[in-house]
Amino acid sequence: MKVTIGVKHVKDTISFESDQSEQDIQNIIESAIKDEKAINLTDKNNRKIFIMADSFAYAIIGDTPTHTVGFNAF
């Protein structure tokens, strides 16, 4: 699952691949914001990503659909 996170007052985003499900990631983010704690996620290489909940701006969760380019045979 591809995850992109925006941080307040920071131009660049944090992007990584995770084995966690979309619902798990959403629950972790929502819980951390509600409890005012750090958002703690893990990427595919088992690296930890910590983001303070008060610095969190947005998240895009999900794989990008592939688009075919070119001409199709009719």
Of 59, 67, 51, nearest to 1 by C-alpha is 59
Give the pLDDT of the chain (74 residues) as one tens digit per residue.
Answer: 999 999 999 999 999 999 999 999 999 999 999 999 999 999 999 999 999 999 999 999 997 766 667 666 65
Return the pLDDT at 63.
78
Return the pLDDT at 50.
96
The structural domains of the chain, ordered by start, are 1-59 (2.30.30)
Return the pLDDT at 70.
66
Q: Which amino acid is at 24?
A: D
State the DSSP code for 45: T
pTM of structure: 0.79
Return the pLDDT at 52.
96
